[in-house]
Amino acid sequence: MLEKETGSQVKPSRIQCWLELVGNVLLFSLLYTFVAEIVYSKNQGWGALALSAEDNQILIGLLFNQPLLLMVPVLTLSGILILFRQTQWAQRVTAGASGLAFTWLGINLYTLMVTGNHVQTYLQYLGDSDALAMGGGGQLVFTLLLILSVLFILIIGMFRLIKAIIAKCYPHRFPAMGGIFTAALTGLLLYLAVTPINLAESTERPLLVMRLTEALPIPLPFTSLQERLLADPSEVLREINRGLDVLASEYGPKLAMAPSAQPTIELPLNQKKNVILIVLESLRHDSFDTQWMPKVAAWAKTGLQLRHHYASTNTSHLGFFALLYGRSPLAYQATLDAKHPSALAATLRQAGYRSTFLAGTSMNWQRMDEYLSPWNFDEITIDEEGTWFERDQRSLARIQEMSSNENPQLLVVHLNSSHFPYKYPAEFQHFQPAASLSKGSYARAGYGAMQDSGPASEEFRQAWLNRYHNALRFLDDRLAQLLVNLDPEKNIVVLTGDHGESFYDDETWLHSSRQSDIQTMVPMTIKGANIPPGERDGRTSHLDIVPTLLHALGASPQVLTGLQGHDLLKSRMALKQDAEEGFLLVNFSASHLALLFRNQRLHIKVDEDRSSMYSLGFQDTNADFLSLDQKLSEPPHLWVNAIRHQLELVTR
């Protein structure tokens, strides 16, 4: 029977109310899992791994488990309310929590698909528009708020629809089965909340589960899976993880400690050459091409060009850190916690240099403002008036003015016009059709990301590439006005990017989502006194720039061995030995990194407390995971030894 409230209002029975709540949660979880499976299977490369039915069951079960982890506590509270006959309050609590939880999960999936980051990465900067733009999220947040509103309305509408369906069917259609059906539905919910976690703990392919759990927004409540990596059926990865287990015990305590302050290095007393670092935002490795930046390309040919150069990361805060400190992003947090200046800034300050940092946008992003600060610079100028390209023009004019100062200068400038959404004056609309800057650009980027092939997606991609190349053409023109006037006998100029940029080259957009070549490789040209012109084809990274600059300024090559990067002015034979025959470490974050060798990448995770490290498998240059059973040309011990060498550099 239906239980009546005062007046003419009618409350549903407690069984009917519970059916509505559990049914809604299961249905929403099913819909979420369907969408999440598409996003995560692409993100994790499941399609190329020929997974068994059991593997698929576990992975999909863990996706289903995500919303249940949020909703089981809510249902528990609602169940208590129902026991006390507060059915309407139970409905309100579950409906509101469902709307919030599933809306958040939905927009998080969208953000993950478009940018590779979870939505909370951007929400923490809502109060700072420039910082948000620096993180690529200005238009993203507008789009997300729009999506959030639509999703919330749809979820509440579905909740009411299911409520009406159950009210019509129960108790009139199946009164005798109500209790049994309710118990079965409740049992199914609890089974689905617990079983995937138990299966994950006993899976025969723990590596697959680790890859997924690393990317999920809600941590799963089990901790023993990492130990099972040592029993993974992939023999190569099993041996590598055994080696990493040993390295974690040996180097973990060193990585967890605050690193030693980098040494200041003595320079000749008559050193008067300016050091000018010009960093372009989101600079693709092919940007210094005659088609995109013809004036810069002509200038670069007269300097030292590094043809296979890595920014050591795919994010701005770690790219700048590696460039200024010559230190691995593995040491990022610890270095900032210890408030250490960079070896470059400290050495030049000791030699009488005045240091200045110029930018056209806030650097309050992932602690960048802590080291782009008086630790390293005598003057920090953040120009926030007008458009990005107007700010960049003023920054370059300021570099021109300051480079003529009698006292030696360290000048670092960040140019932001090449950051999404790629802004430039109208007269530089060389490449057409170019994408418009109407609201919802990220929404269309998300649509484009879902298009695997076909003329529609290629047209979309080309429109954004055209816009990007127009921004480069503007920067090419303004940079040329500065570069041609800098005397190479009085200035050493470094021209590069903080990280790369993807236009679906690796099936993602922009940057900070994959350890792919397109997101981590940048152009690099160094020109000036004591820098021999030419080209280098070997792999280099931002870590190499500090020791190279200090050598060019007259520092003894012997004292540079204490830095993590390689002095590129050393002989080629010495560089080859230093680089361990071509291995290079590139960071995705302060904890995720990849060891590069030829066309293979070994993805490594270092826990935040630095007490453990393990590999999540091999990837190709697009950062797609390779088959777990793939035969490798190099034995596992070679990879472990290369990692040991890199950790030795990081911790010395």
Cα 296 off chain centre by = 29
Residue 537 has pLDDT above 50, yes or no: yes
Handedness of CA 107, 112, 113, 114 (dihedral sign): positive
Q: Is the pTM of this model over 0.85?
A: no
Q: What pLDDT, in 10s, does the model give residues 128-147?
A: 555 555 554 555 555 656 66
pLDDT at residue number 223: 52
Evaluate whether 232 touches 593 at the Cβ level (below 8 Å): no
What integer is the mean pLDDT of 98-124? Answer: 75
Tokens of 545: 């720039």
SS (H, E, C) 115-184: HCCCCHHHHCCCCCHHHHHHCCCHHHHHHHHHHHHHHHHHHHHHHHHHHHHHHHHCCCCCCCCHHHHHHH
∠ CA 142-146-150, nearest 5°, is 165
Cis bond before residue 433 (omega within 30° of 0): yes
Q: How far is CA 497 from CA 203, 282, 289, 323, 547, in A?
A: 43, 6, 14, 10, 18
- Residue 293's pLDDT band (boundaries 50, 70, 90)? very high
Torsion of CA 337, 340, 344, 348, to 10 degrees: 140
Residues 224 and 294 in one domain: no
Q: Is residue 244 part of a domain?
A: no
Cα–Cα distance, 182 to 176 (Å, whole number): 11
Q: Is residue 536 part of a domain?
A: yes
Residues 174 and 316 in one domain: no
Task: Report the range of poorest mean pLDDT among 10-14, 252-256, 294-298, 418-422.
Answer: 10-14
38: number of Cβ within 10 Å:
13
Q: Is residue 592 part of a domain?
A: no
Domain that holds residue 299: 274-425+475-579
Q: Is residue 76 part of a domain?
A: yes
Cα–Cα distance, 303 to 472 (Å, whole number): 20
Evaluate whether 105 touches 217 at the Cβ level (below 8 Å): yes
What integer is the mean pLDDT of 100-108? Answer: 81
Q: How many domains does the chain have?
A: 2
Q: Is residue 527 part of a domain?
A: yes
Q: Is residue 420 part of a domain?
A: yes
> What is the helix (H) or strand (E) element at residue 391, kind and residue range?
helix 388-402
- Residue 468's pLDDT band (boundaries 50, 70, 90)? very high
10: number of Cβ within 10 Å:
10
Residues 312 and 224 in one domain: no
Q: Is residue 494 part of a domain?
A: yes
DSSP of 340-361, one letter per residue? PPPHHHHHHHHTT-EEEEEESS
Residues 102 and 214 in one domain: yes
Residue 408: CATH number of its domain:
3.40.720.10
Residues 216 and 312 in one domain: no
- Residue 546's pLDDT band (boundaries 50, 70, 90)? very high
Evaluate whether 134 touches 362 at the Cβ level (below 8 Å): yes
Residues 290 and 353 in one domain: yes
Higher-pLDDT residue of 245 and 411 is: 411
Of 579, 608, 629, which residue sits at a domain end? 579
Of 579, 608, 634, which residue sits at a domain end? 579
- Residue 274's pLDDT band (boundaries 50, 70, 90)? very high
What integer is the mean pLDDT of 233-255? Answer: 82
Cα–Cα distance, 260 to 98 (Å, whole number): 49
Residues 216 and 282 in one domain: no
Residues 93 and 192 in one domain: yes
Mean residue pLDDT of the chain comes to: 79
Evaluate whether 135 touches 499 at the Cβ level (below 8 Å): no
Q: Is residue 33 part of a domain?
A: yes
pLDDT at residue number 512: 79
What integer is the mean pLDDT of 105-116? Answer: 75
Of 174, 203, 232, which residue sits at a domain end? 232
Higher-pLDDT residue of 531 and 165 is: 531
Residue 295 has pLDDT above 70, yes or no: yes
**Which residues, listed in sequence order, are joined to residue 601 by a DSSP beta bridge?**
596, 619
- Residue 452's pLDDT band (boundaries 50, 70, 90)? very low
- Residue 10's pLDDT band (boundaries 50, 70, 90)? very low
Residues 78 and 205 in one domain: yes
Phi, psi of 254 (to 5 degrees): -70, -40
Residues 223 and 318 in one domain: no
Phi, psi of 593 (to 5 degrees): -145, 170
Cα–Cα distance, 227 to 157 (Å, whole number): 45
Evaluate whether 103 touches 152 at the Cβ level (below 8 Å): yes
Q: What pLDDT, in 10s, does the model give residues 306-339?
A: 999 999 888 888 999 999 998 888 888 888 888 8
- Residue 451's pLDDT band (boundaries 50, 70, 90)? very low
What integer is the mean pLDDT of 79-101? Answer: 83
Residues 411 and 547 in one domain: yes
Residues 75 and 221 in one domain: yes
Residue 521 DSSP class: B
